[in-house]
Structure 1
Amino acid sequence: MAPTPLTMPRTRKPVPVHNLKVTRKGKVKKRFFLWRMRRVFYVAALAVTVGAAGLIYVLSQVELPVDPKVAPVEEQTSFICSGEVQANCGASNAMAQLHGTEDRVIVTYDQIPQVLVHAVLSAEDKDFFKHGGVDPMGIARAAYQDLKGDGVRQGGSTITQQYVKQTYLNSEQTATRKIKEAVMAVKLEQQIPKKEILTRYLNTVYFGRGAYGVQAASRAWFGHDVQGLNAGEAAFMAGLLRNPNGADPYRGPMSLKEAQRRRRVVLVNMQKEGYITPAEFKLYSSVSMNPLDPNVASTERFIEPPPKASVLGENVRGKEWGSEYFAEYVRKWLVKEFGTDTVYGGGLKVYTTLDLDMQKSAYDAVTSTLDRPGDPAGSLVALDDQGHIKAMMGGTDFTNNQVNLATGTQGGGLGRQPGSTFKAFALSDAVKQNYSIRSVLPSPAKIDIPLDQCPNGTKEWSVRGGPGGSMSLISATKNSVNTVYAQLMARLSPRSVTDMATQMGVTAKVKPVCAVVLGGGEVSVLDMASGYSTLANQGVSKSPIAVTRVEFPDGRVKTYGPDQKQVLTPIQAGRVTYSLQQVVDGGTGKAAAFGKPAAGKTGTTQNNADAWFVGYTPKLTAAVWMGYPDSLKSMDDVHGIKVQGGTFPAEMWRKFMQSATADFDTGTFPEYPAEELGAGNVLDPNMGTSGVIVSGESSIGATATTQPRVQTTQPQTQTTAPATSTPTTVPPTTPTTTSPPATPTTTAPATGQGTGTGKGKGPANSGN
């Protein structure tokens, strides 16, 4: 029977000869498994070799985007310091801070306290000074801690890796990003020292509350510089690094609990590493001794409340006296000068002119006078003899109303009519054209001046406000007589007067119409202070400045001084000053007298909507305005009286000057012989000149005995003398004389209660 597949004997597949191994006895021995798998191992070895080569290639190709040694400076907070700070302007002495989305102040390694370094290392990377950028053991340790769940959550990344990620990479969770992060960390540590890496990290990492870097964070959370941190504060800050918002006690009970837990864990690690003693651990981890709860009393609170959002930063020094308006004025100037990026991220140190003591004096002078509900607003600007803005009272509530009343339209408000304070510029132009302040002109109760004599828009200029008779420019200034100054404008020309105002410091564009002498234009309080300061500076115009020096982080320094121009000679300025001294020495501004040499001018506009006093001592000039900010509402009944420049504004000016000059010598005005003061041409040969009486002069220019200096805080009632003649269109013709009439036409004092009609805005009043 033939064999079938089922009955056929099985035979093994022949074994290749090269796989056979014969023993000494001649028996065939099979080769080991590893020998049989040699091809697999070969392929695996080849793969490892290729992978290693690829890794080496990657290492060689991954570059740091910027050489860390020449990396651009991180964005830094800029600081604005008031005038008493002359060096080292910074977080501890600044009146205001400016920063964009990142509040950052760069510090060096030596400025970082070791207790903070120890806290950060304990929380983030205890082997930082040992590894080469990547720490495999740290990764394993972090994984173990995360699994246990009893520590600060760790990701295994070293501080170097964290710095690389936040500086050069993004936060995407991919293998490629992690490889690049590790490679770049290794390369970074080959280029710069460990301390430099740690310093950069601590200057850039986010700590919450908009604070980047340890210095900004220390001030945001604790209100003091980083150098003052203790172990408890340092542990709290280190605990913020992984998730700042999640450990902010002010965000609710869960965040409070998390903040307490993180601080304790960091302190535990610090004790393990030997950075703090057990006693210190017990002290700083105690919730009762160092409470994080925001509901505890402010005296016991561990951290500060969150700062209020403000473009000027938190805690503006002197804000209770309105200093925020000045700081905002400086901020706008800085942005215009350097651009937004530099101002908010350039780490500037800005030295300003503001005197906080004078700022308080200005604020108190205004608010103690206008102290009742519904009162008008007031503003005051003071300049010293170097053009420095020493005080700027622009408002009382910057948080809710940022319109700066001191800077007019530039500050977001309305331009205000200056009233008779503009007469000082007409008088300055007159002496510049060599007219004598002794010149006599008629002073009728009303006068009409045709357009061909004085351009004033489209209407004949009708002006009221004179006692009758005639008087010199000195008396007309002292008593603010409108009809005399109307005639003066007709002789000088409006363009000449407005040009003089511009040269003296008024930056507003004032229309050259005749009514401008009675306040027909619109100016700011700063403008008027600037213009009058030219007279205080003996004819030298010095443009107001708020900043004297700006320092940059790289060591560059820019200094600033006022633009200066000799507008009037000293004797010309002296003639105007002499006339304005009479205003304070018994004239419409006698309520401004405060016992030291002073000169100034009152001003009141149409319907008493604006009231002014602008005056100066030899070393300090101040302008005061009051009115309703949003409208031209009449001030007919403020504290029971009708407001004029000689009432509340003069009183506020006096209060300010008394306080601001209490501790320094205001100086004395230069003295000139009477013949020099009165020198010059006459305005009207038919009227001639009066005598210059240094001690005083009557309302019509006649010699008078010295009028006593009156110092009062009470408003003065003004009356208008009845007209003694019919309105005139030209000065009356009388015989030429070089002395005033022997018999005055009237002895009633001029009150300046007339009106002068200008173009566009309508009538503009000028008065006390």
Structure 2
Amino acid sequence: MVLIASALFFIAYRSIDIPEPNSEYLTQTTHVYYADGETDLGEFAIQRRDPVGLEEMPDTLKDAVVAAEDQTFWTNEGIDPKGILRAAFTNASGGVTQGASTITQQYVKILYLTQERTWKRKVKEAILSLKIQNQYSKEEVLEGYLNTIYFGRGAYGVQAAAQAYFKVDAKDLNLKQSAVLAAVLNDPNDLDPANGKAARSELKGRYQYVVNSMVEMDAISEDDGNRAYDKLPKFPEPDAEQAYEGQRGHVLQMVRKELLRLGFNEQEISGGGLEVTTTFTKKAMDAAKDGQAAIRPPSLGYKNLHVGIATVEPGSGAVRGIYAGQDYLLSQLNWAVEGGQAGSTFKPFALAAGIKAGFSLEDTFEGNSPFTTENGYTVGNQGDTDYGRPNLIAATESSINTAFIDLTTSMENGPQEIIDTAVDMGIPPAEAPKKDAWGFPTSTPGLEANEQVALGSQTVSPINMANAYATIANGGVAAEPYIIEKVVDQDGETRYDHKVQDHEALSEDIAADVSYAMEQVVETGTGAAAMSGFAWPAAGKTGTATNAADEVSSSWYAGFTAQYATAVMYVRGDGDDGLDGYLEPFYGGEFPAKTWRAVMDTVMAGEEPIELPEPVFVDGEAPEEGHAPYTPPPSPTKTRNTDRPDPDDSTDSSPTGDPTTPTGDPTTPTGDPTTPTGDPTTPTGDPTTQQTQPTTRGTGGQGGQGRQGRQVGRRRRAGHHGRRTTLT
């Protein structure tokens, strides 16, 4: 009988080869770091595992595991014959196969076999264990085992376990900590000390068994054993297992998408042991999260009121911080990426285009409301305010809609020039050249060449808005935004190292003039109240846009210092719901500007104040024929419609009636909120149309204040026949 069994075993031994390891046990955790390359931001893992060499494991750990799991490990042949016979007998009698496997057998079962409990699997386990024993040294087997076995808390291998239980590296484990990790191997879930008094009591019994076994094996002295025996070590509070909670999930999804775009596959990302250094700084990330929390109304929940924030570094395009909105576990919509209608934050692109086309900051444009173009499009200022003939500095400072429409239509092919300038500066085109797989949008829905393009009905993400404003801060040189700085693989080879991709979008002189006009918004214009006392020279622009119900649906403030550009956006619901009566006051100079201030106070802490450039007053060859000389009124005044509060500024998304140029519908996110990487929902409703004539007309204008220059404008005023829209 023994001869027959031996013959069968020999045949089986010859016929069974060592198979390929189970793929999940060859994976390593991919670590994602902040920009310093050291501070953990998050991780991607099929199994959380960080292999370390046997030489990096303390002797106390190796001895404790051998004492707990296989005291004959260093002398046995890799199998437990008695255990195999017991398993066969128990199975034959209808029972369940028992354990008593050696460390080698456990390693084989994990690495090569399934977890089924049959005598056939047990025999195969024994054969493979013998082959492994003959092919690898004991040290190699123990190292593989200790980097593979599950310790609980999602940790595979001793390095992950040391961090999970004690927040130390494996090499720094002491005797007590080593004995605990060896003890929990017996039942990782039920012996977790975080699971209550009963679990801790069970763990203590197993722990004391391990300590006694180490003494019996002469791995430690009796005195050391006595000192360790009575009490378990101290356990830090375990980390929450929600690896994607809060803002971390939003950031990790952006990083995952960017890695895919850069050519890494899912297997490499989730199990390739990559070391990914991002552009995000903890300082800027915390500033965005804390800044919005400090300013947003506490009575308005995170479910409906969404804040999107992005901070970009001029010159490099590095995205340093974002705030995506609600906790990722509750909503996967990232409002720093999805964006909303830009409103008057789009006007600086029209200003830059106008100066490129030959106009000057000192040129004056139509500031009275309403104003009708030759094509019949009528626009109004907020409250139907009259400003006379403001120059472009005053028009930017007070966000005068009529002046920017006059500028747009005074340029040859003005709408397209504005779009081209915006795209050059960092606003993506209307359609991405290829499938949008980046960690941020590469298209701008609604970016259409119509007369009201400067008023911002297109959907822009805070990341792209901040990056485009960073172009102004960087003297007109635009850089591609990016979020991954470097990727190193598990062998230490650099797989990706970012190189700044930039180009000149504006001349340095034009950028200086645009910056100067935007400084007036901060100093005396629509953003002045929120910016009072800000310690660094800054420039910015407020913005609001309205939906089909003539309700303000997005509210913005975007601006920059010499060091950073930040954009803040407030939206509600699906991005097109009204803020009127919900967020009061709802203009860009209020909550968005105050949030920007709170964010940038933290981001800029420790930075030197750097003056923004002086204006050059670039003056080209823009047409002047046909214009009467401008005479400022003796006492410029503003008379506003009192139906609505005095705004910072506000823009509508479309004209009344049927203009001859397309107006486009308001657009929003391109993500599906039900999945982390999907496309956003599309808002309801059409762009706003307002047909009500104002009840009050102003008599003066702001144009008489400050620099005055040549008068520009060839368009019809209200009173001529033409369709009209008053923007709010």
Q: Does 1:241 align with 2:195?
A: no
Match of 1:65 among 16, 19, 23: 19
Q: Distance in 1 between matches of 2:334 and 2:155?
A: 29
Higher relative contact order (CA 8 A, sep 6+): 2
Q: Which residue of 1 aligns with 2:590?
A: 647
Q: Which residue of 2 aligns with 1:111?
A: 56
Q: 1:537 to 1:548 in 2, by over 3 A?
A: same
Query: 1 CA distance for matches of 2:187 and 2:362?
Result: 79
Q: Which runs of 5+ in 2 are unaligned?
A: 91-96, 429-443, 637-644, 650-693, 701-707, 713-721
Q: Once the two structures are superposed, what CA deviation does each residue of 1:496-541 show, in whole Å capped at 9, x if it has no partner?
A: 3223222222232233133331121122211211111111122222
Distance 2:501 2:624 in 1: 37
What's 2:313 paired with? 384
Q: Percent identity?
A: 30
Decide which of 499, 507, 524 is 1:569's aligned counterpart.
507
Which AA in structure 2 matches 1:428?
A: A
Q: Could you give the per-residue CA deviations for residues 564-619 of structure 1, whole angstroms, max 9, x where no partner exists?
A: 22222222222211221222231222232524322211112223332211111122
Report the counterpart of residue 76 of structure 1 in structure 2.
28
1:137, CA displacement in angstroms?
8.2
Aligned equivalent of 1:488: 407
| Deviation of the 1:118 alpha carbon | 0.6
1:723 aligns with 2:679: no
- Whole-Å separation in 2 of the counterparts to 1:667 and 1:471: 29
Tell me which residue corresponds to 2:214: 270
Residue 421 of structure 2 corresponds to residue 500 of structure 1: yes
2:538 equivalent in structure 1? 598
Superimposed CA distance per residue, residues 253-277 of structure 1 (whole angstroms, 9 cap, x where no aligned partner): 7644432322121111011112233
Determine the C-alpha separation between the residues in 2 that align with 1:739 and 1:355.
47
Q: Please tell me the residue identity of whatever aligns with 2:60.
A: V
How far apart, in 1, do the equivalents of 2:628 and 2:612 lie?
28
Secondary structure of 1:520's match?
coil
Check conservation: 2:519, 2:538, Cα contact below 8 A. yes
Q: CA RMSD in A?
A: 3.8
2:356 aligns with one of 427, 432, 446: 432
Match of 1:302 among 235, 244, 248: 235
Partner-residue secondary structure (3-state), 1:440 = coil
Q: Distance in 2 between matches of 1:210 and 1:700?
A: 73
Name the CA distance, whole Å, in 2 between partners of 1:514 and 1:200.
Answer: 68
Structure 1 position 252, deviation (Å): 6.5
- 8 Å CA contact 2:64–2:178 kept in 1: the answer is yes
Question: Residues 718 and 201 from structure 1, CA distance in 2 versus in 1: closer, same or farther, beyond 3 angstroms?
Answer: closer
Q: Which residue of 2 is the match for residue 94 of structure 1? A: 40
Offset, 1:638: 7.3
> 1:484 deviation in Å?
0.9
For residue 536 of structure 1, the aligned residue among 462, 473, 481 is 473
Mark the CA change 1:721 to 1:229 in structure 2 (over 3 Å): closer, same or farther.
farther
Displacement after TM superposition at 1:181 (Å): 2.5
Question: Which is higher, the Rg of structure 1 or of structure 2?
Answer: 1
The one-letter amino acid paired with 2:349 is F
CA contact (8 A) 1:417 1:522 kept: yes
The correspondence of residues 424-463 of structure 1 with structure 2, limited to 5 A, is: 424-450=348-374, 452=375, 460-463=377-380
* CA positional deviation for 1:201: 0.8
Is the contact made by 2:307 and 2:325 (CA closer than 8 Å) also made in structure 1?
Answer: yes
CA distance in 2, matches of 1:605, 1:595: 30
In 1, the alpha carbon distance for the partners of 2:396 and 2:10 equals: 90
Distance 1:279 1:396, change over 3 A: farther
Q: 1:683 to 1:268 in 2, by over 3 A?
A: farther
Q: 1:126: Cα distance to partner?
A: 2.0
Q: Please say if 1:464 is aligned against 2:381.
A: yes
Residue number among 551, 569, 590 corresponding to 1:625 in the alignment: 569
Equivalent residues of 2:274, 2:489 under 8 A apart: yes
Shift of 1:635: 4.1
Q: Residues 689 and 276 of structure 1: is their aligned pair in 2 closer, same or farther, counting only changes over 3 Å?
A: farther
Contact 2:60 2:178 in 1 (8 A): yes
1:290 aligns with 2:216: no
Corresponding residue for 1:521?
Answer: 458
Question: What do residues 82-131 of structure 1 show as CA deviations (whole Å, max 9, x unaligned)?
Answer: 12x33xx4xxx41212223x221111112222111011100122232223
Which residues in structure 2 correspond to 1:14-93 (within 5 Å)?
A: 48=3, 55-66=9-20, 74-83=26-35, 85-86=36-37, 89=38, 93=39
Is residue 322–residue 336 contact of structure 2 (8 Å, CA) maintained in 1? yes
TM score, norm. by length of structure 1: 0.72
Counterpart residue number, 1:395: 325
Paired positions, count: 620
TM (normalized to structure 2)?
Answer: 0.76
Maintained 8 Å contact 2:544/2:555: yes
Q: Is the 8 A contact 1:169 1:181 kept in 2?
A: yes
- Gaps (5+ residues) in structure 1? 1-43, 147-152, 292-300, 409-414, 454-459, 691-698, 705-714, 727-736, 742-755
Give the direction of change, closer, same or farther, for the CA distance of 1:432–1:110 in structure 2 (3 Å limit).
farther
Change (3 A) 1:165 1:362: closer
Please report how far the alpha carbon of residue 721 of structure 1 lies from its aligned counterpart in structure 2 after TM superposition.
12
Report the AA paired with residue 544 of structure 2.
Answer: T
* Alignment partner, residue 269 of structure 2: 343
CA contact (8 A) 1:419 1:765 kept: no
Q: Which residue of 2 aligns with 1:37?
A: none
Q: 1:678 to 1:177 in 2, by over 3 A?
A: closer
Residue in 2 aligned with 1:7? none
